[in-house]
Amino acid sequence: MAHEILAATNAVVTLDVAIPGIVWPWLVTVNMWAKSIGTGVILMLFMLLRMYPEQAGKLRMHTAIVAFVFINIFLLFTLADLHQPLRMWHIFVYSHWTSAITVGAWMATVFLGLLTLLIFFAYNKSYATYDKVLLWTTILAIPVTLYTAGLMAQCTARELWQMPTESAQMILAALLSGSAFMILMGGNKLNEEAKNTLGVVLGLSALMAFIIYMAEYIFGPMKAEEIAAVVEYIKDDGPYTVMFWLGQWIAYLLPMLFILLSRASKSEIILKFAAILALVGLAIVKHVWLIIPQLLPMS
C-alpha cells in the first residue's frame, strides 16, 4: 500500500484541462496538410532525380527549403494544438514508445534534421553528398507521413479511422500534394515531359484517393453501425455534406479532368490550375474526414 501511495505522489500531470467537444480542430487539419506537402515534395524530388536528373537537379535547394518550411508548419500547429504545449518536452524526456505521438515526434525531429543537412549541402553545391542524404530522407518521409494514420488508428473509439485505409490515404495525400507543389515550383526548370510525369502522379493519386473515399462512403456503413452514424453527417442534408462533396470535386475530380485537358491541349496553365485545386481541395477533404467522427457521441 505504501509503495502505491508513493507512486501516486510522483505522478506527472500532463492533461489537466477540460475535454472539448472537438478534440482535434482545424489546427490538426493544417498539421496534416502541411506534413503531406513537406514529405510529398521529397518523394517527388527523389523520383525526378532518377528520371530527369539534369532538370530535377536545379530543384534541390528549392525542394529542401519547401520541405523544411512545411515540416516546421506541421510541427508548429502540432504544438499549438497541444493542451499543454509547454510540457511537450516530456515526449522526448519521458518517451513512451507504444504511443504514435512519441514515435512521430522523434521521426519528425530526425526528418527535420536531415532536411537541414540537405539545405546545407545544396548551398555548398555538394550534390553527391546531397543525393546520399536524400535517399535516407526519402525513406524516412514514408513513416513520417504515415504517422498521423497511426495516431488516428489508436483512437479505437472512432470506427471510421482504420489503419489500412488511413495509411493509404496519407501516402496518396503526400503523392498528390507533392506532385502538385512540384508542378507549381518547376516553372522553367522542368520540361514538358517531366511535368506530364508529375501530372500522371497527381491524377493517379487523386483517382485512388477518390476510390477509397467512395468505398468508405458506400460500403463502410455495412461494416459497423458507428460508421453508418458518422457517414450520415456527409449524406443527404448532413451538416458536412456540402463540404465533403466540395472537397471531393476540388481535390480529386476536377484535377483529374484538368490533367486530361492539359495533356490534350499541351497547356501548362491548365496543369498548374489542376495542381492548385488539388492543394486547396486536399485541405477541405482532410478537414471533413477529421471532424465527422468526432461529432458522434461516445455514449
Q: What is the pLDDT of residues 18-59, one digit of tens each?
A: 555 788 889 999 999 999 999 999 999 999 999 999 999 999
Q: What is the pTM of this model?
A: 0.88
Alpha-carbon distance of 102 to 72, in angstroms, equals 17
Q: How far is CA 85 from CA 101, 252, 274, in A?
A: 14, 35, 37
How confident is the prediction for the chain on average, in pLDDT?
89
Statement: residue 146 has pLDDT above 60: yes
Alpha-carbon distance of 172 to 92, in angstroms, equals 29
% of the chain exceeding 90 in pLDDT: 67
DSSP-assigned letters across all residues of 128-186: HHHHHHHHHHHHHHHHHHHHHHHHHHT-TT-TT--HHHHHHHHHHHHHHHHHHHHHHHH
Reported in sequence order, the residue ranges of 28-163 that DSSP labels E, i.e. its strands, are none
Contact 180, 278 (CB under 8 A): yes
Alpha-carbon distance of 244 to 281, in angstroms, equals 10
Nearest to 248 by CA among 223, 279, 213, 275: 213
Alpha-carbon distance of 46 to 40, in angstroms, equals 10
% of the chain exceeding 70 in pLDDT: 93
Q: Which amino acid is at 138?
A: T
Contact 198, 265 (CB under 8 A): no
Alpha-carbon distance of 169 to 175, in angstroms, equals 10
Contact 49, 63 (CB under 8 A): no
Q: What is the band of 83 on the pLDDT scale with cuts at 50, 70, 90?
A: confident
- Out of 119-128, 155-164, 289-298, give the one with best mean pLDDT: 119-128
Q: Comparing 17-26, 34-43, 90-99, 160-169, which segment has the lowest mean pLDDT?
A: 17-26
First vs last Cα of the chain: how many Å apart? 34
SS3 content of the chain, % helix, strand, coil (to 5): 80, 0, 20
Q: What is the band of 81 on the pLDDT scale with cuts at 50, 70, 90?
A: confident
Maximum Cα–Cα distance across the chain: 79
